[in-house]
Amino acid sequence: MAVTTPQQATGQVAIRASREPRNVFVRMYRQWADYAYIFPALFAMFFVIAYPIAYTIYLSFYSTPTAGDNVWNGLTNYTSIITAERFWMITQNTMYWTIVSTILAFIIGTGAALIAQREFIGRGLVRGIFLIPWVISHVATAYIWVWIFHSDYGLVSGMLMDLGIISSPLVILDSTTWAMPALILVNVWKDFPFIMIMMLAGLQTVPDHLIRAAKMDGASTWQQFRHVTLPHLKGVIIITLLLTIVMNLNHFTLPWIMTGGGPASTTHIWITEVYALAFRSLRFGIASAFSVVLFIIMMSMAYFYVKAMTAGDDRRR
């Protein structure tokens, strides 16, 4: 009869561990079926994502005259972008647009979530109404608000004049001062339901017994929110903020349709600028270089996003 001593037992474990192949290719070969399953998706992604990105990077080092072949010009596209005053103005516009939109949408969305979470008669209806902006397409939203802001026929001007608050029509989307705030207003109106949904989902996971414990401990409604709800929502808040920031940075439809970047480029943001450079001015090289800069910025955001997501995984484990 074989008696296993502890030493022998550890020896066996060591042998078994050493049988696990060190070579990553051997291990990949053993899991070939897994790779086969994801191959179709990877194959498609190569053509619609990897190839365009690679081609964009390639183009960013070339001058692309409308007539004739592309000419290698090294980093010239990049240096001309970064040294141009216009780039910094547009970056400023983009930051203004993104930060203010995100903060306002977050505050309003969280408030809406707190309201929609409470139990009251007609809650379903209120939730439904809050969701309306989210289900209207961006293009439709843009045209609705262009009409509302229209100086001669618009709802805003008309109502204010009827009420006698102003005497001449308000110029909004054609004003260098008011065009951007108006765009942000529309963007917040359009985006807050998304934040509401995210926060509502988060709020519903706040354990009831913690709220009750806080009540027993003497916490006021605000203190319950501050000490129990908010810490519990930290993960949701980070992810929602990151997603909203990326969405806003990438936003094209609203500014492009409502103002086309005008007046005097005051509402041009990165994306509209890239589009205008490429498809209006046909300066593909410089547009590509611009895209690569944005790509790097977005990827760094993505890094934080993935990190925030996986931090949650670790906590669950």
Partner 1 sequence: MAEVRLDSVIKYYDNVLAVDDVSLTMKDGDFVALLGPSGCGKTTTLNLIAGLIEISDGEIWIGDRDVTDLDPKDRDIAMVFQNYALYPTKTVYGNLAFPLQMRKASKDQIDERVRRTAEMLSISHLLERRPRELSGGQQQRVALGRALVRDPRVFLMDEPLSNLDAKLRVQMRAELKRFHQDLNATMIYVTHDQLEAMTMADNIAVMSDGRVQQYGPPEEIFYDPANLFVAGFIGSPAMNFLYGEVVVEGGVTSVKGDEGWEYPLTPENAQKASHATNGRIIIGARPANFILSREEAPGLIPGSIYTVEPTGDSTFVHITIGEQIFVAITDPFFRADPDDPIWIDLEDERIHVFDEGTEEVLRVDGLNSQSQHGRRTLQPA
Length of the chain in residues, anyone? 317
Alpha carbons within 13 angstroms on the beta-carbon side of residue 21 total 9
Q: State which of residues 30, 86, 212, 307 lies at the interface with partner 1 (CB under 8 A).
A: 212
Closest CA to 271 of 284, 261, 282: 261
Nearest distance, CB of residue 231 and partner 1, angstroms: 4
- Residue 209 sits in the site that holds partner 1 (CB under 8 A): yes
Which of 6, 44, 66 has the alpha carbon at shortest distance from 278? 66
Binding region for partner 1 (CB under 8 A) out of 68-76, 86-94, 138-146, 202-210: 202-210
Q: Which is nearer to partner 1, 3 or 216 (CB)?
A: 216
Considering only the stretches 3-11, 36-44, 105-113, 231-239, report the one whose residues sit in contact with partner 1 under the rule CB under 8 A: 231-239
Instruction: State in angstroms the smallest separation of the CB of 236 from partner 1.
Output: 14
**63 Cβ contact partners less than 8 Å away, ≥ 6 residues apart:** 70, 71, 72, 73, 76, 77, 285
Instruction: Check binding of 317 to partner 1 (CB under 8 A).
Output: no
Contact 253/139 with Cβ under 8 angstroms? yes
The distance of Cα 135 from the centroid of its chain, to the nearest Å, equals 17
Which region among 31-39, 51-59, 206-214, 297-305 touches partner 1 (by CB under 8 A)? Answer: 206-214
Among 219, 243, 247, 294, binds partner 1 (CB under 8 A): 219
Q: Which of 84, 99, 159, 213 binds partner 1 (CB under 8 A)?
A: 213
Is residue 207 close enough to count as binding partner 1 by CB under 8 A? Answer: yes
Binding to partner 1 by residue 52, rule CB under 8 A?
no
Contact 89, 272 (CB under 8 A): no
Report, in Å, the least distance between residue 48 CB and partner 1. 42
Strand partners, 62: 72
CB count within 10 Å of CB 253 equals 15
CB nearer to partner 1: pick between 19 and 118: 118
* Coarse DSSP helix, strand, coil percentages of the chain, rounded to the nearest 5 percent: 75, 0, 25
Instruction: Name the token pair of 196.
Output: 């509401």
Compare residues 75 and 213 and give the one whose CB is closer to partner 1.
Answer: 213
Identity at 163, one-letter amino acid code: L
* Closest to 186 (Cα-Cα) out of 131, 215, 149: 149
Q: Tell me the closest approach of the beta carbon of residue 227 to partner 1, in angstroms.
A: 7
Q: Is 231 in the site for partner 1 (CB under 8 A)?
A: yes
Say whether residue 233 binds partner 1 (CB under 8 A).
no
If binding means CB under 8 A, how many residues of this protein chain bind partner 1?
Answer: 18
Q: Which residues contribute to the site for partner 1 (CB under 8 A)?
A: 207, 209-210, 212-220, 223, 227-228, 231-232, 234
